[in-house]
Amino acid sequence: MITDKNITEFISSWKDGIILIQEAYITNNDYKELARNFVDNHYLFNEELVLFKPTLTNDVVFRNTSDDALSYFIGGKYPEDKGFALNDFEDIEIDEINTIIEKELIAVMGVFILRLKNTNDPLRIAFTFILKSTNIGLKIKIHHSSLIK
């Protein structure tokens, strides 16, 4: 049975994964492999269709394949992708978590507060994840996020 604790642990794992990719990038470690593992471990791309609307996309709005998601997180496939996970984050806080757990439906929405180094203006991002329970844990089926202005 899925609990709010499982969901909170998953959201924390997602946040920590972004920070680990950034740290690997800064220290010249294999951030690309780490990012691929992050996408594989947190999204259902290898199992089934996924809908992904990342925060900072304009030209190519949706990233519904593993390679498209990877490009968003570390850059490469689309010119607008600068690597969301490569930003110089000092910290990512999680706030205002709301959940619905009904039979097979696991929905979570909340706010990521991203603090960049050398700036006092954090980015506030509203997110919604529709999660699915798999034999290895929760994974994202639908991800939508947008800046809060």
pLDDT at 35 exceeding the cut of 90 = yes
The number of angstroms, rounded, from the C-alpha of 103 to the middle of its chain's C-alpha atoms is 24
**Among candidate residues 37, 39, 78, 41, the one with its CA nearest the CA of residue 56:** 78
pLDDT at 33 exceeding the cut of 90 = yes
| Burial letters 121-131, b for 16+ CB under 10 A, else e | ebbebebebbb
- Residues contacting residue 60 through CB under 8 Å, at least 6 positions apart: 68, 78, 80
Containing domain of residue 127, as a range?
Answer: 4-147
Distances in Å between the Cα of 141 and the Cα atoms of 28, 30, 69, 127, 138 are 31, 26, 13, 13, 9
- Residues contacting residue 92 through CB under 8 Å, at least 6 positions apart: 15, 18, 19, 112, 113, 114, 115
pLDDT digits (tens, 9 = 90+) for 40-58: 999 999 999 999 999 989 8
pLDDT at 91 exceeding the cut of 90 = no
pLDDT digits (tens, 9 = 90+) for 94-144: 999 999 999 888 999 999 999 988 888 898 999 999 999 998 899 999 999
- Residue 119's pLDDT is 81
pLDDT digits (tens, 9 = 90+) for 51-79: 999 998 989 999 999 999 999 999 999 99
Number of domains in the chain: 1
Half-sphere exposure of 75 (CA within 13 A, CB side): 12
Distances in Å between the Cα of 111 and the Cα atoms of 21, 29, 36, 55, 122 are 20, 29, 24, 12, 12
pLDDT > 70 fraction of the chain, expressed in percent and rounded? 100
> Is the Cβ–Cβ distance between 49 and 130 less than 8 Å?
no
- Residue 136's pLDDT is 87
Here the CATH number for the domain that contains residue 112 is: 3.10.450.50
Largest Cα separation within the chain, whole Å, is 44
Rounded to two decimals, the pTM is 0.93
